[in-house]
Amino acid sequence: MQLDDIDRVGVVGAGTMGNGIAQVAAASGYDVVMRDVEQQFVSAGFDDIDESLGRLVARDELTRSEADRARDRIEGTTDLADLSDCDLVVEAVTEDMDVKQSVFEDLADTCRTETVLATNTSTLSITTIASVVDRAERVLGLHFMNPVPVMKGVEVVVGEKTGADTLTLGHAFAKDLGKETWEADDKPGFVVNRVLMPWINEGIRAYDEGVAGMADIDRGLTLGTNVPMGPLELADHIGLDVVLDASETLHEELGDRYKPAYLLKRKVAAGDLGKKTGAGFYEYD
């Protein structure tokens, strides 16, 4: 399979990442099928896409008609069978190995053998996800960054059995969506989250241990190290549940230096998951 053979792209999961991936693929001219388990999640995904396209139009980055054409290229569904004629599918469901493996089993049953199956996992093993399908050479990690329409980078992750053609196609597809890529081996957290998660957890601990207030920790890191967001604000933006899931995987695989901060666990237990629930470390309208 080569880039020219890809017309129809499937996205599994219409949440933060899935709807962003669907949007950028549609804006790049692909027909997209975006699938979630319930219609309310599909509709919420479309609401995010409408908002995001509206922002791009307001900033003159897209014309209204380009945005409308992109929107029209996305079909929303709860029916797995609608993914059957996709040439490439990106899975962006909950960061849980059992859930991801069950999605991959379904995809292997539903899609053609040559369909490339990508996972957007932040930290889980590509090799373990691929182990449940009969075509592990067609499975790779395409780790998009949040928010997908804005962030330029895609981490291409190489599983034990990922084929060379699949990798070449993964890079080419991401570049066709206007992204830049780098490659990481299938080791916990790959490049980005292996380094990012301890940074976020240390920011949370510094706050919890009274080193500084939330805003000062975020200001310290933005002004002191020239990053666009500090660790607490970034955690809210990613989703505290997503940060906790990723931190727990890294802790399990790499040991105590990756232990999630206590306050992160407490916030998630309280249901304060960041921007998406209206409150995390900060409050949102």
Ligand X SMILES: NC(=O)c1ccc[n+]([C@@H]2O[C@H](COP(=O)([O-])OP(=O)(O)OC[C@H]3O[C@@H](n4cnc5c(N)ncnc54)[C@H](O)[C@@H]3O)[C@@H](O)[C@H]2O)c1
* 239 binds ligand X, rule: CB under 6 A: yes
DSSP E strands in the chain: the ranges are: 8-12, 31-35, 74-77, 88-91, 116-119, 139-144, 153-158, 180-185
SS3 label, residue 152 = coil
Annotated active-site residue 155? The verdict is yes
Q: How many residues lie near ligand X (CB under 6 A)?
A: 25
* 18 binds ligand X, rule: CB under 6 A: yes
How far apart CA 246 and CA 130 sit, in angstroms, is: 19
Which tokens go with 35?
């699938």
Which tokens go with 220?
């310290």
Annotated active-site residue 102? The verdict is no
Strands 153-158 and 139-144: antiparallel
* 234 binds ligand X, rule: CB under 6 A: no
Judged by CB under 6 A, the chain residues 105 through 124 that form the site for ligand X are 120-122
Identified binder of ligand X from the candidate list 9, 11, 15, 34, rule CB under 6 A:
15
How far apart CA 31 and CA 6 sit, in angstroms, is: 9
The smaller minimum CB distance to ligand X, of residues 5 and 143, is found at 143
State the nearest-atom distance from the C-beta of 14 to ligand X, in Å: 5
Give the position of tokens 């070449």.
168
Judged by CB under 6 A, the chain residues 176 through 215 that form the site for ligand X are none
Which one-letter DSSP state was computed for residue 179?
-
Annotated active-site residue 237? The verdict is no
How far apart CA 152 and CA 123 sit, in angstroms, is: 19
State the nearest-atom distance from the C-beta of 148 to ligand X, in Å: 8
Backbone φ and ψ for 185, nearest 5 degrees, come out as -75, 160
State the nearest-atom distance from the C-beta of 246 to ligand X, in Å: 6
The active-site residue out of 122, 125, 201, 247 is 122
Interface residues toward ligand X, by CB under 6 A: 12-18, 35-37, 41, 92-95, 99, 103, 120-122, 143, 146, 238-239, 242
Residues making up the binding site for NAD(+): 13-18, 36, 95, 100, 122, 146, 276
State the catalytic residues. Answer: 122, 143, 155, 193
